[in-house]
């Protein structure tokens, strides 16, 4: 696509806002995207806190990776940053201010689609300075032998990502997803929703960890057989109307865009975490069983190489 041919930095043309609910906090929040100067990267700004503290979206500011990526700086934090950062990075935006009036980004439909639409509505603007790249020269790899996770960057002329997931699940087998060029991000990756196993959901609900969640913002994977009565009880936990139980599988299959949507969503998350490198990367990324913890360890390894160059 033509818009990706030039190597100038990019921001947006004008301010745009959207509203939604945080998945873990259940709090309503407003996000405003604002143009930012060259070489400033991505900056969150907590407008609900006195003096509006800023939180730079860089890996050094990551303080949490359990279920979502959390950033903290200047005494303020912002949680679940991966979907919004994925949208920004995926659209080729290099500099942006992200104002937010709460502690967590909105989950919206569980993908990065609405963020992408808003940013496109704002318009992408080319800036004067050239982009800076980290070019992978030697393989960079992170392995976690406990989980079987491995993420490796290989030398390549352009950024591409390949993801494999395998949850030993009876209803969702091994899945693969790839993105050969960021120009395909908007159509192939951005609409892919997050997913959750029903067995996990019950635990999360009981622990009060997903106040803003419902069946419209995640694909729900049902692995065991339920009775209709058990199924109704789960609907009650969600404050949802009872619906007919159809057996094991994806509960809300009608909301799926792609058969390998879960693997594509893991790629969406990985790209969002890679935005925390603070620089564009040229390399071929292969990730087996990625998750936020391993993504961040991998990004830290890249950043170590970046620092060696400087
Ligand atoms: Zn996600």
- 97 vs 285: CA distance, rounded Å: 27
Q: DSSP characters for 130-175?
A: EP-EEEP-S-EEEEETTTTEEEEEE--SS-EEEEEE----SSS--E
pLDDT at 183 over 50: yes
Statement: residue 211 has pLDDT above 70: no
pLDDT at 2 over 50: no
Instruction: Select from 144, 159, 179, 139 the least CA-distant residue to 289.
Output: 144
| Catalytic one of 24, 83, 265, 292 | 292
Distance 4 CA to ligand 1 centre (A): 25
Residue 150, beta-bridge partner list: 143, 288
If one compares 224 and 300, the residue with the highest pLDDT of the two is: 300
With 50 as the cut, is the pLDDT of residue 1 above it?
A: no
CA of 190 to the centre of ligand 1 (A): 11
Q: Is 246 a catalytic residue?
A: no
- What is the rounded distance in angstroms from the CA atom of residue 116 to the CA atom of residue 299? 23
Q: How confident is the model at residue 220 (pLDDT cuts 50, 70, 90)?
A: confident
- Percent of the chain past pLDDT 90, that is, above it, reads 70
Encode pLDDT of 70-92 as tens digits. 999 999 999 999 999 999 999 99
Q: Give 99-132 pLDDT, tens digit per residue.
A: 999 999 999 999 999 999 999 999 999 999 999 9
CA 42 to centroid of ligand 1, rounded, Å: 19
pLDDT given for residue 215 in this prediction? 65
Residue 173's pLDDT is 85
Report how far ligand 1's centroid is from the alpha carbon of 260 (Å): 14
Walk me through the domains of the chain, giving residue ranges and CATH numbers. Answer: 2-131 (3.30.230.20), 195-255 (no CATH)
Contacts of 178 (CB under 8 A, 6+ apart): 160, 161, 162, 163, 267
**Which phi and psi angles does 122 have, rounded to 5°?**
-70, -30
Calculate the average pLDDT of the chain: 91
C-beta separation of 125 from 9 below 8 A: no
Contact yes or no for 193/111 (Cβ under 8 A): yes
> What is residue 207's predicted lDDT score, i.e. its pLDDT?
75
Could you tell me what percent of the chain has a pLDDT over 70? 94
pLDDT grade, residue 238 (50/70/90)? Answer: low
Residues lining ion ligand 1 (Cβ < 5 A) are 194, 269
Ligand 1 centroid – CA 97 distance (Å):
21
Report pLDDT for 133: 93
Distance 309 CA to ligand 1 centre (A): 31
Interval 255-277: pLDDT, tens: 788 999 999 999 999 999 999 99
């Amino acid at each position: 696509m033509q818009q990706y041919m030039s190597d100038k930095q990019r921001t947006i043309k004008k301010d745009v806002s959207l509203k939604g609910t945080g998945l873990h906090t259940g709090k309503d929040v407003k996000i405003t995207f604002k143009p930012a100067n060259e070489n400033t990267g991505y900056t969150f700004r907590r407008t609900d806190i006195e003096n509006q503290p800023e939180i730079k979206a860089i890996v050094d500011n990551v303080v949490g990776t359990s279920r979502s990526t959390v950033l903290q700086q200047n005494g303020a934090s912002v949680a679940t940053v991966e979907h919004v950062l994925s949208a920004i990075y995926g659209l080729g935006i290099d500099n942006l201010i992200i104002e937010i009036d709460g502690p967590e980004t909105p989950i919206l439909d569980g993908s990065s689609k609405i963020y992408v639409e808003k940013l496109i509505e704002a318009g992408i603007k080319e800036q004067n300075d050239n982009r800076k790249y980290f070019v992978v020269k030697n393989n960079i790899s992170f392995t976690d032998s406990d989980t079987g996770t491995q993420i490796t960057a290989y030398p390549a002329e352009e950024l591409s990502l390949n993801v494999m997931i395998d949850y030993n699940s009876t209803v969702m087998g091994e899945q693969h997803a790839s993105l050969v060029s960021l120009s395909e991000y908007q159509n192939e990756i951005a609409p892919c929703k997050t997913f959750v196993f029903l067995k996990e959901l019950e635990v999360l609900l009981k622990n009060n960890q997903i106040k803003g969640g419902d069946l419209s913002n995640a694909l729900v994977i049902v692995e065991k057989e339920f009775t209709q009565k058990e199924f109704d009880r789960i609907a009650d936990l969600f404050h949802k109307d009872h619906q007919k139980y159809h057996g094991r599988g994806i509960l809300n299959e009608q909301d799926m865009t792609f058969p390998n949507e879960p693997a594509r969503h893991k790629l969406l998350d990985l790209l969002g975490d890679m935005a925390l490198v603070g620089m564009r990367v040229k390399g071929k990324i292969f990730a087996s069983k990625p998750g936020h913890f391993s993504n961040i360890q991998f990004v830290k390894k890249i950043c170590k190489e970046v620092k060696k160059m400087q």
